[in-house]
Each structure stands twice: as C-alpha cells, then as structure tokens.
Amino acid sequence: MEPGIYENIGDAEYRRIPAISRSDLLEWAGLAKPIDKTAATMGIVFHMAMLEPHLVAESVMVGPEVDRRYTEGKQVWAEAEAKAEERGMLLVTPKALDTLRAMVAGVLHDPQLSKLHKAAKAGQTRNEITVVWERDGVLLKARIDQATSKALIDWKSTGLLEPDDFAASCVGYNYHVQSAMYQDGWATVTGEHLPFIHAVCSKRQPHPCWLHRIPQSDIDHGRTLYETLVRLYARKESK
C-alpha cells in the first residue's frame, strides 16, 4: 500500500495492511502491555458509539447474564461467544451495555466532548482514518479516531475516575508514543502539524468526561522511543 490517507477502511482490513502499527512496534520490542479482552471489547464498542453509532446495533451482541466464576456460567458464556464470532459481532454483558449507555449520556452532557461526538455523527469531521507513511524504509500505519481542522482526537474509555490519575497513567500505557507517532504520521502525509488530544470518558459512575493533552516533554520522549525502535526494526529486518 502506498503512503497516504485512506478512509472507509474497517478494523479487519486495517489489520491486514502490510505496515507496522504502534502496537506492532511495541510488541516486537517486548514493550506491549497485556490485553484485557473485556476492557478491549468495551473500548471498541465505546469508540463505535462515539464515531459510528449506526453500527452498534448490527455489531454488538448482548450475552446472557451468567456468573462466569462457575463451570455452568463459563459454558453458557462460551456458547454465546461462539455465536457472536460466527456472526462477526462483539459480545458484551448486560451490565457492560448499561455502563456504555451511561457513558454516552455522560458524553452528551459534557460541553466539549458532546460537540466532538455530534460533529462525528453528523459527518462534519473525518472519522476512523487510516494513515500510512514511511520512515527509515519502514512502512508505518495508524488509525486515527477523529480529525478536526484543529486537532487529532483519540477517544478513550478508562477505569479511572480523576483526570490527574489518567494523566499519570499515560506514559505507562505508552500513550505518549501513540501521540508522537500519530502526529508525525499525519504531518508526513498532509503537512499539517496538529495536536493529539484524548477525549476521555470514565467507566465509573458518575462517568465524568474530559479532554487531555499529553505534555510536550512526554511526547518528545515517546518520539525518541518509537524512532529508535523503527531504526532497530529496519536494521534487523533488512538482514
């Protein structure tokens, strides 16, 4: 695939693009965080509700209310997972769906995030954009949630309740690497240098929402890290 911006590419097609994502790079270097499947599914559904709400009904399946600590509950849930996989759908619990609805309500009541959500829903921003670019002979890729004329937006659901706690967790989750890499990819392809901002909603009641921008010093460290990994990857893969 040639470097550029691609729209209308789904998650599955994005994963098949023969280029290196931030997650691929960190996994290659042994720096990737373990993925919690339940949290990851919740994050995907939240993104969908914010950016492509019309897809939720056809993409999300609500599973049975069972206690998965016991054998019978595990079996019932496994059967539901198999059905969801056959249909190409995401499986969530009834409780998770209730949480998602409360989070959406929280976003709609937040003055800043509600504007972003409404703009995405109305097609006034560019949403779910794939960016492909080259650096040091390595083809890189990123999937940007939302691009406005002023910023690149990344929607995040979090189990944290306070903005300060989220800010303190960003480096640990390598969000500073994401910020640097996505900003650089966008600038390489478009020539625009836009800030990278997280639109955050807590999964905990009362589901507060806020905007967060990682400090430039942390972004600079993230840039140094990913640029170093790209050079090492290029050197090793060229042998």
User: What is the pLDDT, as a whole number, of residue 34?
Assistant: 82
Q: Does residue 119 fall inside a structural domain? A: yes
User: What is the pLDDT, as a whole number, of residue 1?
Assistant: 82
Give the domain extent around 167.
4-34+101-237
Tell me: pLDDT of 238 over 80.
no
Condensed to tens digits (0 to 9), the pLDDT of residues 211-231 reads 999 999 999 999 999 999 999
Least confident of 62-71, 95-104, 135-144, 156-165: 62-71
Instruction: Give residue for tokens 């914010």.
Output: 50
Q: Does residue 89 fall inside a structural domain? A: no
Tell me: pLDDT of 232 over 90.
yes
Q: Does residue 160 fall inside a structural domain? A: yes
Q: Does residue 134 fall inside a structural domain? A: yes
User: What is the pLDDT, as a whole number, of residue 208?
Assistant: 97
Instruction: Give residue for tokens 């691609």.
Output: 6
**Which residues are CB-contacts of 166 (< 8 A; sequence separation ≥ 6)?**
156, 158, 160, 198, 200, 210, 212
219 and 176 in contact (C-beta within 8 Å)? yes
User: What is the pLDDT, as a whole number, of residue 57?
Assistant: 87
Angstrom distances, CA of residue 21 to CA of 127, 131, 197, 229: 18, 10, 19, 12
How many domains would you assign to the chain? 1
**Which residues are CB-contacts of 167 (< 8 A; sequence separation ≥ 6)?**
212, 214
Q: Does residue 74 fall inside a structural domain? A: no
Tell me: pLDDT of 189 over 80.
yes
CATH number at residue 138: 3.90.320.10
Q: Does residue 87 fall inside a structural domain? A: no
Q: Does residue 30 fall inside a structural domain? A: yes
Q: Does residue 230 fall inside a structural domain? A: yes
- pLDDT-derived band of residue 33, with 50, 70 and 90 as boundaries? confident
Least confident of 8-12, 159-163, 166-170, 172-176: 8-12
User: What is the pLDDT, as a whole number, of residue 237?
Assistant: 80
Give the residue with greater pLDDT, 140 vs 40: 140
Mean pLDDT of 92-118: 95
- pLDDT-derived band of residue 239, with 50, 70 and 90 as boundaries? low
On average, the pLDDT of the chain sits at: 94
Compute the distance between CA of residue 100 and CA of residue 211 in angstroms, rounded to an integer: 19
User: What is the pLDDT, as a whole number, of residue 3?
Assistant: 96
pTM of the model: 0.92
